[in-house]
């Protein structure tokens, strides 16, 4: 029970998707959910169901299963500068001095806030696909944490 209270969740995107079957179209919802404890752990999950609330629950449980441990400096930033490309999404993350706050847009900001990062500068190039941007951000955070392990 205490694990449930520790993690904060944020729904990034809810998409209505459909597939064509013999009788017509079947509509379902896909939810992109970010889960974090604001202390170095963050995860991303995708849930799909015929109801929005069920898809959010599925995304949350998947995100909790796939948590990433992020190393944070004493100033609340990442260890080193990282530039990564995943599919068409390109992400640049730079550590920032204390008092800078998070300078990032959309998905990158949400992932960084829930992971506990307080000072960061970032830029997102290429794709506008929120799923790919979230995956690229998590991969970049993993790479920035590698040297500290």
pLDDT tens-place string over residues 86-142: 889 999 999 888 888 899 888 999 999 999 899 999 999 998 999 999 999 999 998
- The reported pTM is 0.88
Q: Encode 28-53: b = buried (16+ Cβ within 10 Å), e = exposed.
A: bbbbbbbbbbeebbbbbbbbebeebe
Does residue 7 contact residue 35 with C-beta atoms inside 8 Å? Answer: yes
Domains of the chain: 2-68 (3.30.160.20), 70-146 (3.30.230.10)
């Amino acid at each position: 029970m205490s694990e449930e209270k520790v993690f904060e969740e944020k729904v990034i995107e809810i998409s209505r998707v459909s597939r064509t079957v013999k009788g017509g179209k079947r509509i379902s919802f896909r939810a992109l959910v970010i889960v974090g404890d604001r202390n170095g752990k963050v995860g991303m999950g995708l849930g799909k169901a015929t109801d929005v609330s069920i898809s959010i629950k599925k995304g949350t449980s998947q995100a909790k299963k796939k948590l990433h441990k992020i190393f944070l400096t004493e100033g609340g930033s990442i260890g080193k500068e990282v530039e990564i490309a995943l599919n068409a999404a390109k992400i640049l993350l730079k550590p920032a001095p204390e008092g800078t706050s998070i300078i990032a847009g959309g998905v990158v900001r949400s992932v960084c806030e829930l992971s506990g990062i307080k000072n960061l500068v970032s830029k997102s190039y290429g794709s506008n696909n929120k799923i790919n941007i979230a995956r690229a951000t998590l991969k970049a955070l993993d790479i920035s944490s590698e040297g500290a392990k």
